[in-house]
Amino acid sequence: MTFTQDQSTVTEISPRELYARLLSAQPLFILDVRNEDEFKRTPVEGHATLRTLNVPYYDFIEDEEAALARLPKDVEEVVVICAKGGSSQYVAEVLNNHGYRAVSLSEGMIGWGNYYDVRDVTNAAWGRIVQIARPARGDLSFAIISDGQAALVDPLRHINVYRELIEGAGAKLTAILDTHVHADHISGGPALAKETGAPYYIHPYDAIHPIDMLPAVIAYEPLRDGQVFQIGQVRVTTIWYPGHTLGQVNFLAETPDGGRYLFTGDGIFLRSFGRPDLGGKGEAWTPILYRSMFERLPRYLTDDTMILPAHFSTLEEDAGNGIFAAPYKQVLAQNDSLKPRTLEEFTSYVLSHLPVFPPEYVEIKRVNIGLVEPCEGKANELELGKNICALAG
Amino acid sequence: MPHFDQTLDVKGAKCPMPLVKSRKAITELPVGKVLQVISTDRGSVADFQGWAKTAKNVELIAQETVQENGQELYVHYLRRTA
């Protein structure tokens, strides 16, 4: 076998095609040829129909026959992935020479990690609500576009995606709304504000780093409970919802046709809710979260209010069209954490379901309020893998 | 810096080439000799560790990061053991 670095005969699959196939829930076989540590830290996840196997590319270099013997014989097609797309091409070529049908993911996990998926949640005469997802991380953000005006909710780090969307719609960005200061990913809000001049809104309680106790040095406008934004024909109301962070808010968008869309951030998710311990004060914040979830939230929710959170945990939460949203009635039925509990029951439920506290989350919060400024490489490193904002199931 | 007998310069080469070339160079080295590999690929640090764990006749003696003209070099020292 010969391997040429520059011209390969191996077919590539783009992150977009990979995502379409992951969403489709058709059987899919992924051969991840990164080293074992990287594979364990950031695997590609999908539906139950996805099979994934880790055989590092150097095992193919060391002993091709032994590495090939670890692959199942019954797979129709193998999608090979690595960190940057070079080694996966190498291994895909080995596989193709041995009778497998293999394709290589172009740009590897870096490309996959930075891939964005944009699709309409709703598109009506008054305008659109658009979901902008970063599927590898389970991150969701939204745009509200109406009558030439646009607002963004929880925009992610790669801000060109949003600029293109808004320019393509012929709209002007009038408000950048973060539901809270994020710990798991770098917000695109401050950078978008700097580039477009649109105001960046966060609740002032989140402008103080909860562990460092240092104030934000970025420019922001303080949100207050009940504050209303008019985006074209859409009325957006700010609702304070402390617990995951002290300044966490929900945004309720009401459309002229009677639609109600609640952007919950890391408040409630479709099948879980935002953990109260990322500020380092889980025991003190759990009762605050309890009051938000069981006393504040039901007051402004109707059965058919669409719940649009800032994260999904698995692709099983896809409503069937790549949209991670559901009416409140359905969320109530499928989200175990929303079942009625006393404060004591809720506290022990929370404490027994807390996943690991990723150490980089403290640093990401520093970045998001301007206390440190990472370079591109460092930013990529901080955002490796999927969010761990939800309680473990 | 450990003692070494031969140097392989794979600066600028992207994954998997640093490892492909190192495998070849080790095979051509007499048993017991040490190969120094100079790479600019950061991913090579973890990958050489993983490779040495499963490779038949390769021992990873040391790894170091050095600065050269503003860029980071990842240097690996590999001994052929059999």
At A241 the pLDDT is 97
What do you get for the CA distance between the two ends of chain A, in Å? Answer: 46
Is residue A385 pLDDT above 90, yes or no? no
With CA atoms as reference, report the closest residue to A255 among A125, A356, A62: A125
At A377 the pLDDT is 80
CA distance A385 to A20: 20
State whether A37 and B46 contact (CB < 8 Å): yes
State whether B50 and A5 contact (CB < 8 Å): no
CA distance A277 to A139: 19
Is residue A35 less than 8 Å (CB to CB) from chain B? yes
Looking at chain A, the whole-number percentage of residues with pLDDT higher than 90 is 85
Q: Which of B20, B50, B55 sits opposite A35 (nearest CB)?
A: B50
At A15 the pLDDT is 97
CATH number at residue B71: 3.30.110.40
In our burial notation (b when 16+ CB lie closer than 10 A, e otherwise), range A50-60 reads bebebbbbbbb
Q: Indicate the pLDDT class of residue A8, thresholds 50, 70 and 90.
A: low
Is residue B1 situated within a structural domain? no
Is residue A163 pLDDT above 90, yes or no? yes
Q: Would you call B26 helix, strand, or coil by DSSP?
A: helix
The torsion of the CA quartet A244, A246, A250, A251, rounded to 10 degrees, works out to: -140
8 Å CB contact between A251 and A129: no
Cβ under 8 Å to B: A residues 305-364: none
What long-range pairs does A76-79 form, CB within 8 A, spacing at least 24?
Answer: A76/A29, A76/A101, A77/A29, A77/A101, A77/A102, A77/A103, A78/A29, A78/A30, A78/A31, A78/A102, A78/A103, A79/A13, A79/A18, A79/A21, A79/A28, A79/A29, A79/A30, A79/A31, A79/A103, A79/A104, A79/A105
Which segments of chain B does DSSP mark as H helices, in order?
Answer: 17-27, 44-54
Is residue B69 pLDDT above 70, yes or no? yes
At A268 the pLDDT is 95
Is residue A61 less than 8 Å (CB to CB) from chain B? yes
The count of domains in chain B is 1
Is residue A39 less than 8 Å (CB to CB) from chain B? no
At A5 the pLDDT is 45
CA distance A309 to A316: 15
Is residue A283 pLDDT above 50, yes or no? yes
Which residues in chain B are closer than 8 Å to A3, comparing Cβ atoms? 20
With CA atoms as reference, report the closest residue to A326 among A267, A266, A241, A261: A261
CA distance A23 to A316: 9
At A393 the pLDDT is 55
Q: Indicate the pLDDT class of residue A3, thresholds 50, 70 and 90.
A: very low
Q: Give tens-digit pLDDT for A183-209.
A: 999 999 999 999 999 999 999 999 999
Q: How many CB atoms lie within 10 A of CB A341?
A: 16
Report strand pairing: A172-177 vs A149-153.
Answer: parallel
Range of the domain at B71: 6-80
Q: What is the mean pLDDT of residues A233-250?
A: 97
Beta strands in chain A (DSSP E): 11-13, 28-32, 50-54, 78-81, 102-105, 117-124, 127-134, 139-146, 149-153, 172-177, 200-202, 221-222, 228-231, 234-240, 249-254, 260-265, 306-309, 326-327
Task: Tell me the count of A-B CB pairs closer than 8 A.
Answer: 52
Mean pLDDT of chain A: 93
Is residue B65 situated within a structural domain? yes
With CA atoms as reference, report the closest residue to A253 among A131, A118, A389, A116: A131
Task: Kindly report the pTM of this predicted structure.
Answer: 0.91
Domains parsed from chain A with CATH numbers: 11-112 (3.40.250.10), 116-382 (3.60.15.10)
Q: Give tens-digit pLDDT for B2-47.
A: 999 999 999 999 999 999 999 999 999 999 999 999 999 999 999 9
State whether B55 and A62 contact (CB < 8 Å): yes
Q: Indicate the pLDDT class of residue A6, thresholds 50, 70 and 90.
A: very low
Tell the residue number behind the tokens 């402008």, with chain if given: A207
8 Å CB contact between A155 and A310: no
At A2 the pLDDT is 43
Q: Give tens-digit pLDDT for A17-56.
A: 999 999 998 999 999 999 999 999 899 999 999 999 999 9
Is residue B16 situated within a structural domain? yes
Q: How many CB atoms lie within 10 A of CB A337?
A: 18
Q: Which residue from A minimizes the CA distance to B55?
A: A62
Q: Give tens-digit pLDDT for A205-237.
A: 999 999 999 999 999 999 999 999 999 999 999
Q: What angle do CA B16, A55, B79 make, to 5 degrees?
A: 55
